[in-house]
Amino acid sequence: MTATLMDGRALSSKMAEKITADVSRMKAQGKEPTLATILVGDDPSSKVYLGSKHKAAQKTGIASQSHSLPADASEEELVSLIEGLNRDRRVDGILLQLPLPHQFSERKMIERISPEKDVDGLTSTNTGRLFYGQSDLVPCTPKGVMELLHHYKVPIASSSVVIVNRSPLVGKPLYHLLLTEDATVTMCHSKSTDLASTTRRADIVITAVGRRPGFVLTGPMVKDGAVVIDVAMNRVDGKLVGDADFEAVSKKASFITPVPGGVGPMTVIMLMQNTLIAASRQSGLLLSSVVQG
């Protein structure tokens, strides 16, 4: 068996066309969707991630603003910037790039963002809405994973799903999204014992650990025909790789995401979709094709 690659680049390009068309329709009605990003410090990886997000915004016609503060900025400076963007009616979405320098409480700063502009879906208001299955502004990576599963027609209802991650960015939102679609979900983490026996029973394995050396998910840990979603991205000897031993796992799985080119592009395009959703909500110009995905 050789797994079918779940091509996030191709799917994100297809979605970008749809979003671009909706952005054009919104502009024709007098509203320009606008994303504002905030970077505190000069972390090289954060700069690369933000660069890809601004490039995607430009490609889809979404206006973007880039705001930066030095690494030694005070809490008051960051709060002032966030609250100014909250008040700015031209800005529809606010993205606070994580991680923040050590002097900041990330949770405290995230909660300063207006829930209606929280395009990362991380405020307690939006995570609460997700808990009840009522949120459009869902964290971008989990939302991208779900789009891939839907696009490739992977059965979710009644499937056994194992998530190897319990973070607020990936694991916890995914748990609720999958549960809403009637999957049986197991969440594993650093304190879980005998991970291999758990993953071997799963129809779908989603791993997002991102630690090396060594593979988190090896061939013997996956049952024949399983679907494997690799969210992680590690740089080893100058090469980007995920959590899974791709060569071994792809010989057993029915579907697998490549790294790079799988979940990563989906995360970026979901941010564009969330920005458009936020703009439509705040302007009253509902674009059903986007809101419904």
Task: Give the pairing type, strands 234-236 and 239-241.
Answer: antiparallel
Tell me if residue 53 is catalytic: yes
**Annotated active-site residue in 22, 92, 118, 120:** 120
Element (H, E) at 66: strand 63-69
- Nearest in space to 105 (alpha carbons), one of 40, 172, 35: 40
* Total Cβ atoms within 10 A of residue 218: 15
The answer to whether residues 271 and 139 touch, using CB atoms and an 8 Å cutoff, is: no
* Total Cβ atoms within 10 A of residue 276: 27
**Annotated active-site residue in 53, 117, 172, 252:** 53
**Annotated active-site residue in 7, 22, 92, 97:** 97
Scan for tokens 């209606």, then name that residue: 116
**260: cis peptide before it, omega within 30°?**
yes
Label residue 290 exposed, middle or buried (CB < 10 Å: 0-12, 13-18, 19+). buried
d(CA 121, CA 156): 23
Scan for tokens 């964290």, then name that residue: 139
Say how many residues make up the chain: 293
Tell me if residue 97 is catalytic: yes
Active site residue ranges: 53, 97, 120
